């Protein structure tokens, strides 16, 4: 792809009113993408330097994880100023240059808004905790102790222990669903909602195309602070918190997932619509994630997209599991829109998590691009990066430090991106990286894969291009889900275009009959096959069959 071609929008979504529908979103974890000044921490200027590479993938949108001013107790997900850039990442001018460059390359920009909680260093919280009668006294969730001095209820923190911390100044507890340094904002306070909507307007005025909304189902808490009921062992699911965390022992009816959340999302959507912007929400719930996704994306008056954790789970999804998830989505979210991801900055990389062979990695990448919904890719996924092994003394993530060694935290998926294979830092930084570059990643660096025609990087480019070439894959309906052994198949249809997609998700060969009709093979560059002389489709291990009706 020439530099000149990169200066033009690369996808047909640019002028579509629902540009977000079917988009391929590329997540950037800025600390680990590219360091431009040698301090060992990635920054906005580094992202600008690498935007042509991202555009060359054919993706439509970049999602940038938090870069706001922060004490970095949770690496930017603890915000102390929602309307400025932390100096370690650059300046507002750098951000403006990033947006301008991305748009010139045909890339839309989503930024990560963390609205459920702030840092305890945010001026709002500093004022709120100073007394019980200051102007922001009700901006956070405060509650008196029980008569015996214990917390107001049994709510637990995702990071371990009680979700309540005692404040000696107010002589009250405050709620923190995450770290004690991340107090929860009080969405029952109208001024809080107004302030956060103004934060969204601030960034939309700077040209962003929307937001990834962190922990979207945590915004509103139960006003009466009722206890969560216990969750039976057979219903526990470690997809949100590690199995060693007692957070999994509760059914989270009252600390999150509240119906009052919907009204705030309607107000947020009204702001988005003013700017032709979109949002994708992170639904963190192990039991009702898909149902909540359906609620939050239905009706055209809330957020456009949400992703749940079904494919971020520990076990590789079998054909039957994928079909079950998609059928459930059709049942509970037929009017909504999913955003699928296999990896992100919070879970073990799926190459390691699912123990994928190179052939399996290619098959799942192709499958992802054929699913109904939008798609999130995590930096380095296109290279096939595996989870990095780190020593305890190298850990930065408080989550991993808390639960080591049973749970090693999130640092293994956050190590720096590898650009070149000829130096120990992988071209990420000329300084000492904030997390060590994994030695096993160096041979997978971008420069090495660019030179290898059969590299996974090129497979991702081809799979993304296939998605863009067929409206049925981007925005079409999905139907006739079928499972035979480990072969998953379905139809995708849109505006007269009909595709049949089948995937052998196993190490064993398989056969299937094509549906009646005249079909033409597509996707041969993705190892797709068509019918043989006997009329059967003979699928090799991890091989797809992609055909279009003629």
Q: Tell me: pLDDT of 326 over 70.
A: yes
Confidence of residue 429 (pLDDT cuts 50, 70, 90): very high
Tokens, residue 412: 């293994």
Looking at the domain covering 476-549, what would its CATH class be?
mainly beta
For position 1, what pLDDT does the model report? 34
Distance of alpha carbon 79 from alpha carbon 69, whole angstroms: 6
* Closest by Cα among 42, 13, 62 to 280: 62
Q: Which CATH architecture has domain 3-116+190-394+442-467?
A: Alpha-Beta Barrel (3.20)
Report whether pLDDT(10) > 80: no
**pLDDT, tens digit, 9 for 90 and up, residues 86-140:** 999 999 999 999 999 999 999 999 999 999 999 999 999 999 999 999 999 999 9
Secondary structure class of 511 (helix, strand, coil): strand
pLDDT band of 15, cuts 50, 70, 90 = low
In whole angstroms, give the CA distance from residue 485 to residue 428.
43
Residue 14: pLDDT band (50, 70, 90) is low
Query: What is d(CA 28, CA 191) in angstroms, rounded to the nearest whole number?
Result: 32
To the nearest 10 degrees (0 to 180), the angle between helices 92-104 and 44-57 is 10
Q: What is the pLDDT of residue 5?
A: 38
387 catalytic? Reply is no
pLDDT at 6 over 50: no
pLDDT mean over 374-378: 98
Task: List helix spans (H) across 282-425.
Answer: 289-297, 319-332, 350-353, 358-370, 398-403
Annotated catalytic residue within 214, 346, 381, 486: 214
96 is catalytic: no
Q: Looking at the chain, which residues constitute the CATH 3.20.20.80 domain(s)? A: 3-116+190-394+442-467
pTM of the full structure? 0.95
* Helices 456-469 & 358-370 angle (0-180, nearest 10): 20
Give the C-alpha separation, 540 to 550, whole Å: 25
Distance CA 178, CA 398 (A): 11
pLDDT digits (tens, 9 = 90+) for 19-45: 999 999 999 999 999 999 999 999 999
The CA radius of gyration of the chain, in Å to the nearest whole number, is 23
User: What is the average per-residue pLDDT within 165-192?
Assistant: 98
**pLDDT given at position 230:** 96
Q: How far is CA 267 from CA 83, 117, 284, 513, 524, in A?
A: 20, 18, 21, 49, 46
Q: Which part of the chain has CATH 2.60.40.1180? A: 476-549
The answer to whether residue 274 scores a pLDDT higher than 60 is yes
Give the pair of three-digit tokens for residue 98. 């990033």
261-274 and 289-297 helices cross at what angle (nearest 10)? Answer: 50
Q: pLDDT-derived band of residue 11, with 50, 70 and 90 as boundaries?
A: very low
Which residue in the list 78, 282, 295, 498 is annotated as catalytic? 282
139 contacts 185 by C-beta, under 8 angstroms: yes
Judge contact between 545 and 529, C-beta under 8 A. Answer: yes
CB 314 within 8 A of CB 239: yes
- Asked if 93 and 53 count as a contact pair (C-beta separation under 8 A), the reply is no
**Residues 6+ away with beta carbon under 8 Å from 17:** 276
468-to-363, 367, 380, 381, 472 alpha-carbon distances in Å: 18, 14, 21, 19, 9
Q: State the pLDDT confidence band at 12, using cuts at 50, 70 and 90.
A: very low
Percent of the chain with pLDDT over 70: 97
């Amino acid at each position: 792809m020439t530099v000149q071609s990169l200066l033009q929008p690369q996808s047909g979504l640019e002028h579509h009113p629902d540009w977000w529908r079917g988009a391929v979103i590329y997540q950037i974890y800025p600390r680990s993408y590219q360091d431009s000044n040698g301090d060992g921490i990635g920054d906005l200027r580094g992202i600008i330097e690498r935007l042509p590479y991202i555009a060359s993938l054919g993706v439509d949108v970049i999602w940038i994880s938090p870069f706001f001013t922060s004490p970095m107790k949770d690496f930017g997900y603890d915000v102390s100023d929602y309307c400025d850039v932390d100096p370690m990442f650059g300046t507002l001018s750098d951000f403006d240059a990033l947006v301008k460059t991305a748009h010139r390359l045909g890339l839309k920009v989503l930024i990560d808004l963390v609205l459920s909680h702030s840092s305890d260093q945010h001026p709002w919280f500093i004022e709120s905790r100073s007394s019980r009668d200051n102007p922001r006294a009700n901006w956070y969730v405060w509650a008196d102790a029980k008569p015996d001095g214990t917390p107001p209820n049994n709510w637990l923190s995702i990071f371990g222990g009680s979700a309540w911390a005692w404040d000696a100044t107010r002589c009250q507890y405050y709620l923190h669903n995450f770290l004690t340094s991340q107090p929860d904002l009080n969405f029952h306070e109208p001024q809080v909602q107004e302030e956060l909507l103004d934060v969204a307007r601030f960034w939309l005025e700077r040209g962003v195309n929307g937001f990834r909304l962190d922990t979207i189902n945590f915004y509103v808490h139960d006003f009466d602070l009722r206890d969560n009921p216990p969750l039976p062992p057979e219903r526990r699911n470690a997809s949100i918190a590690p199995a060693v965390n007692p957070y999994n022992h509760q059914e989270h009816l009252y600390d999150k997932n509240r119906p009052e959340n919907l009204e705030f999302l309607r107000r947020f959507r009204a702001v988005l619509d003013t700017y032709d912007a979109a949002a994708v929400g992170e639904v963190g719930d192990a039991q009702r994630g898909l149902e909540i996704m359906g609620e939050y994306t239905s009706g055209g008056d809330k957020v456009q997209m949400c992703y749940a954790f079904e494919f971020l789970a520990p076990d590789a999804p079998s054909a039957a599991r994928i079909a079950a998830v998609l059928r459930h989505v059709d049942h509970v979210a037929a009017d909504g829109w999913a955003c699928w991801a296999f990896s992100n900055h919070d879970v073990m990389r799926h190459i390691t998590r699912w123990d994928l062979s190179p052939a399996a990695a290619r098959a799942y990448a192709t499958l992802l691009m054929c699913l109904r919904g939008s798609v999130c890719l995590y930096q380095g996924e296109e290279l096939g990066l595996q989870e990095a092994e780190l020593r305890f003394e190298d850990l930065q993530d408080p989550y991993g430090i808390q639960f080591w060694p049973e749970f090693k935290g999130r640092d293994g998926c956050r190590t720096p991106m590898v650009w070149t294979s000829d130096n120990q830092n992988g071209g990420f930084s000329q300084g000492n990286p904030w997390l060590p570059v994994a030695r096993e990643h160096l041979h997978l660096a971008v420069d090495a894969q660019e030179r290898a025609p059969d590299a996974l990087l090129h497979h991702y480019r081809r799979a993304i291009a296939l998605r863009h070439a067929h409206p049925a894959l981007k925005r079409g309906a999905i139907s006739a889900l079928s499972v035979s052994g480990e072969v998953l198949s379905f139809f995708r249809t849109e505006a007269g275009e009909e595709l049949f997609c089948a995937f052998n998700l196993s190490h064993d060969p398989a056969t299937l009959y094509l549906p009646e009709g005249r079909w033409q093979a597509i996707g041969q560059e993705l190892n797709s096959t068509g019918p043989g002389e006997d009329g059967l489709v003979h699928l090799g291990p991890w091989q797809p069959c992609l055909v279009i009706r003629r």
